[in-house]
Structure 1
């Protein structure tokens, strides 16, 4: 029998404990092998044979609505005042007020007063009681079960007024918690809404093309996408016609538009700003870069961080312990001092205050918010565990080429007694026949100086040494100093200049004309402008460069960046060994590389951080964190976000426990009331959620 795995999107998933219960209910269905609820992303993954109706029945206790993951469901945003539970809370408040009015007129023992409070309890608590009684029958204890016991107990001992107010306050806290979680989930919903659901495409029919608007799910590979100025690009593809600037902020976090012309790659969800483009579609809608990012972010939000695993284990033992304490408070003191009604009431209040809601939600809401925020900033973090661990990292290893440097060689020095421009023109004339990166750097320098290209004749390449050609009637030799020195005399002063350039990590190209040495050109991979500032901003104890380059180059760049360690002449397996050694010496290590040739080292490091994740499958697959826009400045932001998340998680757990502890201590003098209990529970939960929402505001550089 084949086992199908399906993803479904959920609406109305209100709280973390509800998510756990919903998951348990779905797992209990006989045809289901496994189920996993992703509370942060409001999704469930089910392994087995099941219908949407069955899943909705499993979530009926929380009013959960289910839709297929692949279908785009436009979630109607129901205004706060139109939600059924909020309307019932409002009606409940009205009867509470009428009850107080009647109490002031006819006294608290009057049948009319009690009747109004009972109506307030029934109207406001109908949802609580349905779930609470069902849970009691199954001996399952969550917040609604505890509330049901507390309200029934309060009614039995005649505390009608308190029971009615507690029902109203609980309804308010549930509504506010649902609103807050919805805000936390907005970051992922914004990502999902980036790419348009439909697009205009041009499809061949015989000899003619027909334009049509189709849902993105129906667009095929090789269809031609027509993108007008100001439109969002709906699919990944290659530009086949047109020239435009495209804002890729949605994918890479960079707001500066990128010029796109024929042959360039474009991504779904990016904004075409100026010209019209025709794009050949290269991926189905579910395989686009933005779809992969959304999927990876949702997976990351589902993965439990270490602190969340601890809280889950703690809550497992915490709830039964609180119930035992409540029972002891209700029974033990009256055995010695009497006043059973007062102490039973205190026990009921302990039940309410002890609910673990705030504790259970303290970590996931912070993780969900931080990972969603990072994705909007162009940083893909593939799990809460990586987000937490990054905050503890004190050692970061960097690949050099393409990470700390631009990855493109550039001309830095021209040393000659003649005109620099003249020498550059003659050398470029020889080098433009070559595909070598150094030759490309020289030709690029010619174009940057806007110099005229000269035409060579009789070009000859000398393997491993250089090349020569006739330029404007003169033979120009370009190559290694050793080869040029074997052809013409090179004075001692020039030898010293060459040595100086080499100690600075530059590659030297020597030049001779006819039988005369005329100068050298220094070429180096340029250090990124932001590299030095980024390394200073990281606030880590140890920074290491791992590179395959020669030692002089590596040491020169490491020195200019004030790095604490440098390892040169490394092959991929050597980088792997270096990471293992660093882990042994320092503990947790992060590695920053390009995600392709650094894959083994990235996988071995505690945290692998890939540069340039946009469109790079290797980076998305290998790394724990991907900087989507190839932007090194996102690294300090990510580390700051990680540290801030750790701080907020610690604050959340502390807030939740201290508030509950204070409320529980009120039992000793007998001052704890149901009002205080519900305020302590509601206050702790809301404090935790709103504190976590501060992570939505974290920006680059903060």
Structure 2
């Protein structure tokens, strides 16, 4: 930027010297210094590209400016250098703003953390040295120094930098907190659950950096034709100079026309049409909690015309709760049935098992010790408790009335067996996400088609939930490979399918889809790796918004290409069939470059995100 400013200052001073009849040598000296200040970087880049056997548009601009000076048009050449340097500086500003908007998140994370050692003594360490399992102390008004779970204290935390939510969130024991968010008036102790390099903030920055290093298919196509097109421009410029000159045309006017042609035919604006809007959209999504992994992923998101949703953990919160206990035998109370089930599930890592244990603890029940724990794949668990064999399993063929009633109500029924005999039914329900109904409505409005629900759950429960949120196409009792088959069927119908999910069992379907979005908080590592985009706060509403933003980025790219190509055609035609003044050609060509760069930058604004979310 400073070289562009210096170049402009020298040009204005040279022009003033010329207008006020100053010494010609002084104006020439100022103009030539302007050449050096504004042209050395493009010349260097162009020569480096030439060493790699590629022809860069920067070199074309410098050659055109030198050609103008060689025939005495030093003012026109200096004007070209100034405008070209300015457009390059604006491109750098656009790229820097895109990077800074995301990299600025890193600065939100404190450099130091207060950690409690084994004796309870506080010690200050670098935030990057916090390890998983460490307990960090966050005092009122301080920034949280690690991603983790609150183990002590209650406070309101401003986490707008991560989730976009304007109101502070109340954090108490068991709640998740994010590095870089601002603590309120209470003191918190947080047990770190992620390595500093894996915090939400760090992942945002890493993914956007990775995205910035990739190119969409449109950009790759432009890069391919740029080299060939630039070579054609050079050949045409030489022909436009040599042929008329051989026919006896005047040297100065012929060279001036050829230099003007080289300038206006150069594809600078075309080259800048694609990446600025795409990187701006990626950065904007990152600021609002959606990580898009690449420009290619953004391009795929823009083509979405049908969305397929997983149920558990995507449409629902993925944290099931026991909502009722039914006893099937007179010698056991509800609490006794629950205590037996919790004892059997105490060694289980399954979400349903954790829900059973959590409910027993919430009721302050004594959970008896269990021996011989064994997982029954696809069925449940088995353990020996007080001499009895207790099983907590899916109902299968054993279907007491309580099982049928629970499933009819949209819940999940779990059967408790003692020595092979049913003694109780646990009624478990997974809660619908608060934003699910509105999110499905937005998806339907965006794609003009109801989302498809893909689930391994039973038909009754799935249909009840689908009716609540407005989904009409429901595929139930699906194994992971069957979800892939459904996605293949939808693709065969000509749909561009987006799959949203969170579990390992969703990963194959996400990989088979055209594009995919993972739920960031609850998502399994494999799912996060497979997805093209990740919604950090598990907000379903952002799926439709990010697709709409991707579509808008695509429209901006198309508009930029039309603007750039139209101006090139007009200016080239004018130069070939008429007389295009060099300053006007320079202004038109570089003006279009500046215009497309600024047009792409519009997608960085908060207004662009709000418009996409409507």
Normalised to the residue count of structure 2, the TM-score between the two structures is 0.79
Instruction: Please list, as runs of the form range in 1=range in 2, the aligned pairs for 1:510-589 lying within 5 A after superposition.
Output: 524-538=429-443, 539-540=446-447, 541=449, 543-589=451-497
Instruction: Please list, as runs of the form range in 1=range in 2, the aligned pairs for 1:460-539 lying within 5 A after superposition.
Output: 505-506=410-411, 524-538=429-443, 539=446
Offset, 1:605 = 1.9
Residue 564 (structure 2) aligns with = 656
| Residues in 1 aligned to 2:133 and 2:105: alpha-carbon distance in whole angstroms | 25
Structure 1 residues 174 and 102: CA distance shift in structure 2, 3 A: farther
Offset, 1:223 = 4.9
Q: Is residue 2:152 matched to residue 1:244?
A: no
Contact 2:316/2:432 (CA < 8 Å) preserved in 1? Answer: yes
| Residues in 1 aligned to 2:515 and 2:313: alpha-carbon distance in whole angstroms | 19
Offset, 1:100 = 1.7
Secondary structure of the equivalent of 1:279?
strand
One of 585, 590, 594 as aligned partner of 2:502: 594
One of 6, 10, 35 as aligned partner of 1:125: 35
Q: Is residue 2:72 matched to residue 1:152?
A: no
Residue 261 (structure 2) aligns with = 350
Instruction: Please list, as runs of the form range in 1=range in 2, the aligned pairs for 1:385-396 lying within 5 A after superposition.
Output: 385-396=296-307
Offset, 1:309 = 0.8
Q: Is residue 2:593 matched to residue 1:685?
A: yes
Offset, 1:645 = 1.0
| Residues in 1 aligned to 2:183 and 2:525: alpha-carbon distance in whole angstroms | 24
Offset, 1:242 = 2.6
| Residues in 1 aligned to 2:546 and 2:58: alpha-carbon distance in whole angstroms | 38
Residue 36 (structure 1) aligns with = none
Q: Is residue 2:138 matched to residue 1:211?
A: no
Offset, 1:565 = 1.9
Residue 537 (structure 2) aligns with = 629
Structure 1 residues 94 and 275: CA distance shift in structure 2, 3 A: same
Offset, 1:334 = 5.1
| Residues in 1 aligned to 2:235 and 2:130: alpha-carbon distance in whole angstroms | 60
| Residues in 1 aligned to 2:357 and 2:116: alpha-carbon distance in whole angstroms | 43
Q: In terms of mean alpha carbon deviation, does 151-160 or 332-341 score higher?
A: 332-341
| Residues in 1 aligned to 2:545 and 2:538: alpha-carbon distance in whole angstroms | 14
Offset, 1:591 = 1.0
Could you report, residue by residue, the CA deviation over 1:24-79 in whole angstroms, capped at 9, with x for unpaired residues? xxxxxxxxxxxxxxxxxxxxxxxxxxxxxxxxxxxxxxxxxxxxxxxxxxxxxxxx
| Residues in 2 aligned to 1:659 and 1:265: alpha-carbon distance in whole angstroms | 53
| Residues in 2 aligned to 1:340 and 1:314: alpha-carbon distance in whole angstroms | 32
Residue 513 (structure 1) aligns with = none
Could you report, residue by residue, the CA deviation over 1:285-314 in whole angstroms, capped at 9, with x for unpaired residues? 333332233112211221111111111112
Q: In terms of mean alpha carbon deviation, does 434-443 or 391-400 score higher?
A: 434-443
Residue 51 (structure 1) aligns with = none
| Residues in 2 aligned to 1:237 and 1:368: alpha-carbon distance in whole angstroms | 30
Q: Is residue 2:141 matched to residue 1:230?
A: yes
One of 8, 12, 37 as aligned partner of 1:89: 8
One of 58, 79, 87 as aligned partner of 1:165: 79
Residue 184 (structure 1) aligns with = 98
Secondary structure of the equivalent of 1:699?
helix
| Residues in 1 aligned to 2:120 and 2:339: alpha-carbon distance in whole angstroms | 43
Offset, 1:537 = 1.5
Contact 1:371/1:380 (CA < 8 Å) preserved in 2? Answer: yes
| Residues in 2 aligned to 1:505 and 1:220: alpha-carbon distance in whole angstroms | 42
Secondary structure of the equivalent of 2:493?
helix
Offset, 1:347 = 0.9
| Residues in 2 aligned to 1:509 and 1:86: alpha-carbon distance in whole angstroms | 72
Higher RCO (CA-CA < 8 Å; seq separation 6+): 2
| Residues in 2 aligned to 1:439 and 1:151: alpha-carbon distance in whole angstroms | 73
| Residues in 2 aligned to 1:237 and 1:657: alpha-carbon distance in whole angstroms | 52
Contact 2:324/2:427 (CA < 8 Å) preserved in 1? Answer: yes
Could you report, residue by residue, the CA deviation over 1:644-677 in whole angstroms, capped at 9, with x for unpaired residues? 1111111111111111111111113432222122
| Residues in 1 aligned to 2:535 and 2:264: alpha-carbon distance in whole angstroms | 43
Secondary structure of the equivalent of 2:451?
strand
Contact 1:432/1:440 (CA < 8 Å) preserved in 2? Answer: no
Runs of 5+ consecutive residues of structure 1 not aligned to the other structure = 1-79, 104-111, 416-425, 448-452, 459-463, 465-478, 486-494, 511-519
Structure 1 residues 171 and 380: CA distance shift in structure 2, 3 A: closer
| Residues in 1 aligned to 2:102 and 2:354: alpha-carbon distance in whole angstroms | 46
Q: Is residue 2:551 matched to residue 1:647?
A: no
One of 329, 334, 338 as aligned partner of 2:240: 329
| Residues in 2 aligned to 1:440 and 1:280: alpha-carbon distance in whole angstroms | 22
Runs of 5+ consecutive residues of structure 2 not aligned to the other structure = 327-332, 346-351, 369-378, 380-393, 416-424
Could you report, residue by residue, the CA deviation over 1:503-526 in whole angstroms, capped at 9, with x for unpaired residues? 56456899xxxxxxxxx9987544
Secondary structure of the equivalent of 2:437?
helix
Q: CA RMSD in A?
A: 4.0
Could you report, residue by residue, the CA deviation over 1:634-653 in whole angstroms, capped at 9, with x for unpaired residues? 11111111111111111111
Secondary structure of the equivalent of 2:485?
helix
Secondary structure of the equivalent of 1:193?
helix
Contact 1:237/1:283 (CA < 8 Å) preserved in 2? Answer: yes
Residue 102 (structure 1) aligns with = 21
Structure 1 residues 372 and 616: CA distance shift in structure 2, 3 A: farther
Normalised to the residue count of structure 1, the TM-score between the two structures is 0.70
Structure 1 residues 339 and 182: CA distance shift in structure 2, 3 A: same
Q: Is residue 2:294 matched to residue 1:383?
A: yes
Residue 56 (structure 2) aligns with = 142
| Residues in 1 aligned to 2:489 and 2:195: alpha-carbon distance in whole angstroms | 43
